[in-house]
């Protein structure tokens, strides 16, 4: 238990860091007109603001995350054994991701690699689908038309994720609409198993996160001065060069932000793989899900969750570095 | 000239395809809600029925889930909107150097997969609430954990909404109020909060909707309880019934009504603003024509 208690000290460390930063800042600039935080907000409101933010950022964000990480360095134990002599720090859970008793842990590693690659593919697909519409809305649509399009984009997203996956299943299942129509039209003899070959999975993921891609793109392209495009056109640039050399470099932060969000959401998604993936397809979050609900192995589930998180963050950072976008620009 | 027409046609076709992709599945699903076969099918359409809506109404699990979803949504709003508001105000006042760190901490739940938020919430609070048997019996419940887990990222949505609105706040208003003798808390209650009112409304709406729809975090945090979405997920996993389509039809209708109302209200507001501007212009011109010489002082 003791190693878990370490997490409880984290709030004090974080508060100390902020306090130290505040002191240093105050020392660095001598501004007589500057009012202290409590002078500005009054005692009651000032304390209320800090309490609310501390409650949220410490107890709902920082501490649970760290606690999960600490948990992942513990062995798998029955509840009675927790805190007992067997409850030591170990990296066994991480090791088990790479190797099992029978050798390399092929099942989980391939599930992991497949999830990451499929998420990258979905991100690229969504960018290709959304870019033209975002460009049209941002640069050539009239304000009224744009507002109508926005509304039309948002309305389908009030239907929840599960029902959206369900609706795609009705289309793509062997008894679904597309197969029924194709068979009735005589184009194919027997239904195609779209879900079995993962068409459902890709379509489902792409469908689920269209909106997440289109809004950052739209916001980024919208602020581009139309004259720049005119100028490029007057100088004789073909349409594809206008996009490659003018629009895309300008909209890079928006593109990065849309791609980051879609990638993270896709890699962490649960509904689309569960309901639209083929029977032999194993998504990494489903592996984690099973550790929690079928094997009740929380420590290993935590370790896998942390592996997923660390890999996603590392990949996003790498991509941002490659495309020379700073993280600050992305999460605006 | 001809190429411009081709271009326009192509863009139109593309937009049509895009929205067909977006709405097609939902339309097909809606049709299956009114078709008689047990397996939800849109084609061939056998005969019209409303039985699936009756089935849905009689589904006790679904109704209990709906009730829990609403309770959780209200709980999430009660935590997230104040937390987001407080964080946005601290963000605007915090020392420059600390802002980056603060931003990173508060925004990180948005970049974390929901599955991980759910897991960490359960693991952490199970031990915290399990300190004594009594606290465990009172607090270690799916509904409470779901509120805590969802609040962690919905507060971040609220923070972004408030920050966007705060950037348009005119500091001069605050200064004017202070010059007129208001205290800082008075400025907050009478100037800043009314200014933020639209943001509060959208934070409440968006917070409630994202809580209501959430699956990834909730499926872990809800433990033995259920929400509408987890009940739905269970039913989709077991098989398919047109009763689910019926539920979708209800949700889509509510969304459409909401969207149309919003659009109509917005147009009416716009028309009113336009009319006011026109009247002002007419009045101004009348005034100018009535007094051809520049007036020494205009009231």
The answer to whether residue B186 sits within a structural domain is yes
User: Structural domain tally of chain B?
Assistant: 1
| pLDDT for the residue B35 | 85
Interface test with chain A among B14, B18, B85, by most A beta carbons within 10 Å: B18
Which positions ≥6 away from A288 have C-beta within 8 Å? A301, A304, A305, A308, B115, B119
Q: Is residue A228 within 8 Å of A100, Cβ to Cβ? A: no
Name the β-bridge partners of A103: A100
The answer to whether residue B195 sits within a structural domain is yes
Q: Measured between CB atoms, does A199 come within 8 Å of chain B?
A: no
CA gap B97, B117 in Å, rounded: 28
Sign of CA dihedral B278, B280, B285, B290: positive
Query: Whole domain around residue B207: which residue ranges?
Result: 63-239
Q: How far is A173 from chain B (nearest CA, A)?
A: 10
Residues of chain A contacting residue B155, judged by C-beta atoms under 8 Å apart: 56, 60
- Which among B18, B86, B247 has CB closest to A49? B86
The answer to whether residue B248 sits within a structural domain is no
pLDDT over threshold 60, residue B1: no
pLDDT over threshold 60, residue A118: yes
pLDDT over threshold 70, residue A289: yes
CA gap A141, B14 in Å, rounded: 14
pLDDT over threshold 70, residue B223: yes
| A228: its two tokens | 């720049």
CA gap A260, B111 in Å, rounded: 8
Domain harbouring B207, CATH code: 1.10.3720.10
How far, CA to CA in Å, does B287 sit from each of A200, B76, B297, B299?
A: 68, 55, 13, 12
Please give the ipTM for the structure prediction.
0.84
- Which among B97, B113, B262 has CB closest to A25? B97
pTM for the model: 0.84
CATH architecture assignment, domain A105-330: Orthogonal Bundle (1.10)
Burial of B282 (0-12, 13-18, 19+ CB in 10 A): exposed
Q: What is the pLDDT of residues B233-274, one digit of tens each?
A: 888 888 778 888 888 888 888 888 888 888 788 888 888 888
| B114: its two tokens | 């929901």
pLDDT over threshold 90, residue B114: no
Task: Provide mean pLDDT across the span A139-152.
Answer: 83
Q: Is residue B248 within 8 Å of A159, Cβ to Cβ? A: yes
């Amino acid at each position: 238990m003791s190693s878990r208690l370490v997490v409880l000290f984290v709030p004090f460390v974080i508060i100390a860091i902020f306090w130290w930063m505040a002191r240093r800042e105050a020392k660095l600039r001598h501004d007589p007109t500057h009012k202290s935080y409590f002078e500005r907000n009054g005692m009651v409101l000032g304390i209320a603001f800090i309490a609310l933010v501390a409650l949220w950022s410490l107890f709902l964000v920082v501490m649970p995350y760290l606690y999960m990480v600490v948990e992942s360095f513990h062995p798998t134990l029955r509840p009675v054994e927790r805190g007992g002599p067997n409850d030591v720090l170990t990296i066994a859970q991480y090791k088990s991701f790479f190797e099992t008793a029978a050798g390399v842990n092929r099942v989980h590693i391939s599930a992991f690699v497949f999830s990451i690659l499929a998420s990258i593919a979905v991100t690229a697909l969504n960018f290709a689908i959304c870019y033209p519409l975002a460009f049209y809305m941002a640069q050539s649509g009239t304000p009224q038309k744009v507002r109508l399009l926005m509304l039309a984009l948002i309305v389908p997203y009030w239907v929840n994720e599960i029902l959206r996956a369900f609706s795609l299943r009705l289309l793509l299942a062997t008894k679904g609409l597309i197969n029924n129509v194709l068979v009735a039209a005589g184009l194919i003899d027997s239904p195609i198993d779209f879900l079995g070959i993962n068409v459902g999975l890709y379509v489902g993921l792409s469908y689920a996160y269209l909106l997440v891609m289109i809004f950052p793109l739209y916001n980024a392209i919208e602020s581009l001065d139309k004259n720049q495009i005119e100028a490029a056109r007057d100088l004789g640039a073909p349409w594809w060069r206008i996009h490659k050399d003018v629009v895309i470099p300008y909209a890079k932060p928006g593109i990065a932000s849309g791609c980051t969000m879609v990638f993270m959401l896709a890699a962490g998604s649960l509904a689309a793989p569960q309901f639209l993936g083929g029977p032999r397809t194993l998504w990494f979050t489903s592996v984690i899900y099973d550790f929690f609900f079928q094997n009740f192995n929380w420590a290993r589930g935590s370790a896998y969750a942390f592996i997923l998180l660390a890999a996603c963050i590392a990949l996003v950072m790498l991509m941002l570095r490659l495309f020379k976008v700073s993280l600050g620009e992305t999460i605006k | 000239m001809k190429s411009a027409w081709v271009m326009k046609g192509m863009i139109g076709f593309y937009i049509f395809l895009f929205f067909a992709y977006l709405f097609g599945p939902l339309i097909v699903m809606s049709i299956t809600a009114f078709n008689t076969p047990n397996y939800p099918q849109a084609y061939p359409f056998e005969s019209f029925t409303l039985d699936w809506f009756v089935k849905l109404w009689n589904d006790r699990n679904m109704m209990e889930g709906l009730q829990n979803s609403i309770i959780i949504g209200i709980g999430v709003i009660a935590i997230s909107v104040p937390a987001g508001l407080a964080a946005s105000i601290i963000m605007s006042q915090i020392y420059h150097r600390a802002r980056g760190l603060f931003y990173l901490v508060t925004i990180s739940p948005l970049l974390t997969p929901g599955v991980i938020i759910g897991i960490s919430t359960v693991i952490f609070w199970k031990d915290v609430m399990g300190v004594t048997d009594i606290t465990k019996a009172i607090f270690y419940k799916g509904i409470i954990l779901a509120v805590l887990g969802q609040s962690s990222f919905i507060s971040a949505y609220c923070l972004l909404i408030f920050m966007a609105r705060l950037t348009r706040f005119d500091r001069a208003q605050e200064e004017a109020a202070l010059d007129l003798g208001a205290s800082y808390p008075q400025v907050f209650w009478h100037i800043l909060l009314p200014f933020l009112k639209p943001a509060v409304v959208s934070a409440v709406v968006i917070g409630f909707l994202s809580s209501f729809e959430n699956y990834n975090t909730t499926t872990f945090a809800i433990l033995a309880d259920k929400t509408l979405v987890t009940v739905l997920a269970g039913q989709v996993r077991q098989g398919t019934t047109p009763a689910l389509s019926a539920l979708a039809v209800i949700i889509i209708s509510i969304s459409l009504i909401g969207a149309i109302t919003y659009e109509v209200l917005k147009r009416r507001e716009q028309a009113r603003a336009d009319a006011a501007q026109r009247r002002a212009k007419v009045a101004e011109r009348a005034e100018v024509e009535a007094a051809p010489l520049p007036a020494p002082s205009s009231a």
